[in-house]
Structure formats: structure tokens, C-alpha cells
Amino acid sequence: MTLPRQADATVKSTTRRTAQKKDVIEQLVDDHKNVKKLFKQYSKLAEKEDIEGKTLVANQICLELTVHARVEEEIFYPAARAAIHDDDLLNEAVVEHSTAKSLIGQIQSMNPSDPMYDAKMTVLSEYIDHHVEEEETEMFPKVKKAKVDLEELEAEVSKRRGQLMAEVVNAEGGIDIKKLKAAVQQAMPKH
């Protein structure tokens, strides 16, 4: 299954958005804002019982969160761990990602008309809000103070994000659902 052109604009805007940022923290905060908007859009569509619309947005949310988690875990968190020496904070962030990815995997395997689908999307939204709050109020300020080269990290994150997005985009530029599900499975915790 391929998402219609409506979702294409989001994929393309995500790519443009990340290319314009000056540092990695601005980029990650931008991701947080984008996902928050998508969750609001999802809620409105769920209230209207628009199965097709909410499915499109849910898939976009799952893609955005999966890619975001991967770039943080592969690039940002190791740099943050080395710079701020706060293993508890970073270990908690990794566990939070693991839980979010588990929920994403459950959502991706469900029928969107299942009443638990909306419930899981709501829990995912609340969970992400909590995670974002901790990152933005605790982790990011510590990383900024540690004098990490945020611009260099941004370049690495942007490059990796492009690679990850390319893995789930079809020839027309839309999201290939089978590839998205495979990417979600690949991102799932291995323990």
C-alpha cells in the first residue's frame, strides 16, 4: 500500500525542514513540534471517524518518530553521553524510545477501525509529550552547555535522516507502507 499524494507533502517538507536548520538541537526540537501538530491532526480526524485520514496521519507519525528515534540513538545520544556524562538521563531516554517503538509496532500491526487503535495513538501522544519535555528541559540544555559541535551533529543527523527516509519512500515520493512496517520492525528493541 502506498500513501496518497496528501502525505507526500509531509515527507518532502520534512526533508526540506531538516536541511535548513543550523544545529542539531534546533532540528530535533523542530521534529518535536512537527509530531505534536500531527498528533493534533490525528485527534481531529479520529473525532470525525475519518478512518482513511487518520490512517494517513498515523503512518506519518510512525515514520517521523521511527526516523527521529533512530537518528537520536545512532548519532545524538552517543555524542550527548560522551559530553554530559549523565548515564541515567540517557538510559531513560533510550528506554522511553524502546517503549514508544513498541507502541508504534503495535499500531502498525492493527486495523485502524479497531477501538484500541485510537487508544494506543493517544497513549503514544502522551508518552511522546513526556519524553519531549525531558529532552527539551533537561538533556538539550546540558548538551548546549557542554560545547558539543551541534552544527557538525546536525550534518550527520540530516544525512542519516535522508538515508532512513529513502528506505521507506516509493518511486513517486510517497510512503510505502510495507517499507514503513519493515523500518519499524528494524527499529524495534532487540532485547
CATH number, domain of 70, equals 1.20.120
The set of cell numbers assigned to 71 is: 537518528
Q: What is the pLDDT of residue 176?
A: 67
C-alpha cell at 182: 519493515
Residue 14 corresponds to which cell in the numbers above? 520534512
Instruction: Please tell me the distance from the alpha carbon of residue 17 to that of residue 19, in angstroms, as a whole number.
Output: 6
Is the pLDDT at 9 greater than 60? The verdict is: no
Q: What is the C-alpha separation between 119 and 97, in angstroms, rounded?
A: 19
- The residues, any chain, with a CB within 8 Å of residue 155's CB and separated by 6 or more, are none
Decide if pLDDT at 12 tops 80: no
Report pLDDT digits (tens) over 22-60: 799 999 999 999 999 999 999 999 999 999 999 999 999
Q: How buried is residue 136: exposed, middle or buried, by Cβ count under 10 Å (0-12/13-18/19+)?
A: middle
Closest CA to 32 of 47, 21, 48: 21
**Average pLDDT across the chain, whole number:** 86
Q: Which of 55-64, 104-113, 138-147, 164-173 has the lowest mean pLDDT?
A: 164-173
Distance CA 16, CA 166 (A): 14
Please count the structural domains in the chain: 1
CA dist 142 → 44, 89, 90, 97, 132 (Å): 36, 11, 11, 19, 15
Instruction: List, for residues 100-129, the tens digit of each pLDDT value.
Output: 999 999 999 999 999 899 999 999 999 999
Predicted confidence (pLDDT) at residue 170 exceeds the cutoff of 70: no
Domain range for residue 66?
A: 5-187
How big, in percent rounded to 5, are the helix, strand and coil portions of the chain?
80, 0, 15
Answer for the pair 183, 168: CB distance below 8 angstroms, yes or no. Answer: yes
Does the pLDDT of residue 82 top 70, yes or no?
Answer: yes
What pLDDT, on a 0 to 100 scale, did the predictor assign at position 172? Answer: 65
CA-CA distance, 137 to 123, in Å (whole number)? 21
Per-residue model confidence (pLDDT) at position 147: 85
Q: What is the DSSP letter of 21?
A: -
Cβ–Cβ under 8 Å, residues 161 and 17: no
The per-residue pLDDT for 167 is: 83
Q: How confident is the model at residue 178 (pLDDT cuts 50, 70, 90)?
A: confident
What average pLDDT score do residues 17-21 get? 48
The 8-class DSSP code of residue 77 comes to H
Rg (C-alpha) for the chain, rounded Å, is 16
Q: Does the global pTM surpass 0.75?
A: yes
Residue range 130-135: mean pLDDT, rounded: 96
